[in-house]
Homo-oligomer: A and B are copies of this chain.
Amino acid sequence: MNEFSLIERFFADPAAHEPPPPWLRLGIGDDAALLAEEPGWETAITCDTLVEGRHFLPGTDPEALGWKALAVNLSDLAAMGAVPTGFLLSLTLPEADEAWLAAFARGLFACARSHGARLVGGDTTRGPRALTITALGRVPAGKAVLRSGARAGDDLWVSGQPGRAALGLAVRLGELASTLPEAERWVAALDRPEPRLALGQRLRGLAHAMLDVSDGLLGDLRHILERSAPPPLTAEIEVARLPLAPLVAGGGPPERARTALLAGGDDYELIFTAAPAYRDQILRLAGELDLPLSRIGRLVPATAHPIVLVEPDGRRTLPEVLGYDHFHACQERR
């Protein structure tokens, strides 16, 4: 099977027989795809690479990988408040394994259909297994929620249940028992993250700053602090408000669960900041979307440390761990 028949066979978009969306002028098959431009909109664009042995283990279920590869990119669009449109897939494989490709494509297109994204182009090549997805979305001009808009006095929020993916990885690595009550759910969070697109879109006009948690809550939170305009900010996290209880109730050892929540990567939940005046509105949104939204702290004018944990007994501590650095595959204080 040659490169071109591979693409035709496995990556013919299952939505190709439906009428093309109005933004799609030309899809797969030419030198480039063509997307219509419309006044009053901006295109959001992002790319992420997943490398075998680094972002996923050899032997990872290809269907889960197909889902996740797209989901992590859609999560970046969610964090801007954008609506997904198209995506490009660049796939590098050691061999043209038909069963692997079929399963990968199944997972990829399941995620694509679930979130309204359409494959518009890409590349396949031979080499060590890796894949890069470039995802495109649209957002009304000027309405994207940036990392840079945080202000002193803002509440700090996080969606869903960060920490599950890290515990799922521990289950997969045999470090935690697969018989724990929530073990299966944690593994699902690792394998099949849900990009928080509806939340991101609904937070346009409410959130001052937003990003998605790919490398760990504390580490990613730093990016909001670093990019907010002067004067600089410190984040105070109230430990008692962290959604830790569900992880512990699910069988997570408390210390490990806390570390997973604060520093585990791969959850793809959204962190956002908003004025306290919007608390009720945000909680109503949580109900409408059936997605927990936890107010975990607040932003204050900068103190000596960018992030401070306020323990339940009132002690103020500094975080031990911050996040995941792909060039130093360990968790370390930076």
Contacts and interface: CB of A to CB of B under 8 A. Distances in A.
Contact of A3 (B46, B79, B325): B325
Interface stretch (A33-41, A184-192, A230-238): A33-41
A44 B51 contact: no
A297 to B, nearest CB: 21
A9 to B, nearest CB: 12
A246 interface: no
Given A45-B120, A88-B45, A54 B126 contact: yes
A96 B329 CA distance: 13
B125 A92 contact: no
B134 A47 contact: yes
A111 B32 CA distance: 19
Q: How many copies of this chain are found per oligomer?
A: 2
A122 to B, nearest CB: 6
Interface in A16-46: 25-26, 29-46
25 contacts: A2-B327, A4-B325, A30-B80, A30-B146, A31-B76, A31-B79, A31-B147, A32-B44, A32-B45, A32-B77, A32-B79, A32-B82, A34-B42, A34-B80, A34-B139, A35-B45, A37-B37, A37-B41, A48-B123, A49-B90, A53-B127, A125-B326, A128-B128, A130-B130, A134-B134
